[in-house]
Amino acid sequence: SWTTGNVIEEQVAAIREQVGDRRAICGLSGGVDSAVAAALVQKAIGSQLTCVYVDHGLMRKGETEQVEKDFVAATGVQLKVVDAEERFLTALKGVSDPEEKRKIIGREFIRVFEQAQAEIIADAGPAVEFLVQGTLYPDVVESGGGTGTANIKSHHNVGGLPEDLEFQLIEPLRKLFKDEVRMVGQELGLPDEIVQRQPFPGPGLGIRIVGEVTKERLDLLREADAIAREELTAAGLDRDIWQCPVVLLADVRSVGVQGDGRTYGHPIVLRPVSSEDAMTADWSRLPYDVLAKISTRITNEVADVNRVVLDVTSKPPGTIEWE
């Protein structure tokens, strides 16, 4: 019968067999799937695995630290962190078009990841022949069920994979559904903040700022987003909503009155949705008192924000993200 214990044991044995005394690389995104896949492979081959985390500066508050500190503490994994914030911000300078942003972020991500990869391969040590991927069963079905290929929708993975992939793939989660992956992650001792994380897009906050992406705007959005997440968690609503993008309308200003007088600030949009698979979604009917609390806190605590609005659009016609 299916138990997380069995799955872990089976996978650990299979991975040991597959890798032998060679080495593997795994990209961590901060999301559940790559974290659980990495933890499983770490359990199997220990220091023969190196994880790479590209910090593109577009993560939410505390997320990079969760990977760098909590994930490493929980797994003992060997982690290479690349601080690429400046590089991404420079590449995104002056860009407002959503597709253009996505392309730039994807392109830079591949470049940074490949460079990190090359450095790992170049260091003394056994051959690096494997790439770990957090592919789940629904991804396998969607992409036609092939094995050992690098066929992944670019939409769902920052940048996807290089065309001339020379690695064999290790995909220890390819028979599992999301809830099973979370159970395996829990059994492996990963922190709740990672195991229970809701979906978050690869391009991160870069596609939640309508307008140009700047450091100041990212910092502002990080604050607003952290407040919304904190209040949703405090209200016990995390399991009722699929995710709640928080969006900064950086190109919009409206008049407000705060403290001593008139303000001319930006709106923040709350986009709480319920969904089964993100293909369709409905806007979540959040309790008014929770919305009120979030609104009051954001307008009080986040400089330059004087209005909070609620997105009441289902998908379709709206997408979950604003860009």
| Cβ atoms within 10 Å of 63's Cβ, excluding its own | 20
Single residue of 69, 156, 215, 285 touching ligand XMP by CB under 6 A: 156
- The stretch near ligand XMP (CB under 6 A) out of 75-83, 141-149, 194-202, 283-291 is 194-202
Contacting residue, 64, 75, 117, 243, with ligand XMP by CB under 6 A: 243
Point out which residues pair with 50 in neighbouring strands. 25, 78
Is the bond leading into 272 cis (omega within 30 degrees of zero)? no
Nearest approach, Cβ of residue 273 and ligand XMP (Å): 8
x-or-dash pattern for ligand XMP, window 113-152, by CB under 6 A?
Answer: ----------------------------------------
Q: Which stretch binds ligand XMP (CB under 6 A): 85-93, 155-163, 218-226, 282-290?
A: 155-163
Closest distance to ligand XMP from the beta carbon of 154 (Å)? 8
Q: How many CB atoms are closer than 10 A to CB 48?
A: 21
Q: How far is the CB of 207 from ligand XMP (least distance, A)?
A: 7
Alpha-carbon distance 9 to 14, whole Å? Answer: 9
Find the shortest distance in angstroms from Cβ 288 to ligand XMP.
25
What does the angle CA 33 – CA 72 – CA 133 come to, to the nearest 5 degrees?
25
Question: Is the C-alpha dihedral spanning 197, 199, 201, 205 positive or negative?
Answer: negative
In the numeric block, which tokens belong to residue 35? Answer: 């974290």
Binding status of residue 272 toward ligand XMP by CB under 6 A: no
Residue 172 and residue 97: Cα distance in Å, rounded? 37
Maximum C-alpha span of the chain: 69
Least separation in angstroms between CB 57 and ligand XMP: 16
Count residues contacting ligand XMP (CB under 6 A)?
13
206 binds ligand XMP (CB under 6 A): no
CA 138 to chain centre: 18
**Entry field: residues in the chain:** 323
Binding site for ligand XMP (CB under 6 A): 155-157, 199, 201-203, 243, 278, 315, 319-321
